[in-house]
Chains A and B, each alone.
Chain A
Amino acid sequence: AQSVTQLGSHVSVSEGALVLLRCNYSSSVPPYLFWYVQYPNQGLQLLLKYTSAATLVKGINGFEAEFKKSETSFHLTKPSAHMSDAAEYFCAVTHEGGTGNQFYFGTGTSLTVIP
Chain B
Amino acid sequence: GAGVSQSPSNKVTEKGKDVELRCDPISGHTALYWYRQSLGQGLEFLIYFQGNSAPDKSGLPSDRFSAERTGGSVSTLTIQRTQQEDSAVYLCASSGGGPPTDTQYFGPGTRLTVL
Contact = CB atoms under 8 A, between A and B. Distances in A.
Interface of A: 4, 9, 32, 36, 38, 41-46, 49, 51, 90, 92, 94-108
Nearest to A96: B100
Interface of B: 3-4, 31, 33, 35, 40-43, 45, 48, 50, 56, 58-59, 91, 93, 98-101, 103-109
A106 B98 contact: no
Contact of B109 (A43, A46, A51): A43
Contact of A102 (B43, B99, B106): B99
25 contacts: A9-B40, A32-B100, A43-B3, A43-B4, A43-B91, A43-B108, A45-B106, A49-B103, A90-B42, A90-B43, A94-B99, A97-B100, A99-B48, A99-B56, A99-B100, A100-B31, A100-B45, A100-B48, A100-B50, A100-B99, A101-B45, A103-B33, A105-B35, A105-B42, A107-B40
Contacts of B35: 105
Contacts of B50: 100
A108 B99 CA distance: 21
A44 B45 CA distance: 14
A96 B58 CA distance: 20
A101 B48 contact: yes
Contact of A46 (B43, B58, B104): B104
A35 to B, nearest CB: 12
Given A101-B56, A103-B45, A105-B43, 19 more contacts: A32-B100, A41-B108, A43-B93, A43-B107, A44-B91, A44-B93, A46-B104, A49-B103, A51-B100, A90-B43, A92-B43, A94-B99, A95-B100, A99-B48, A100-B48, A102-B99, A103-B43, A107-B40, A107-B41
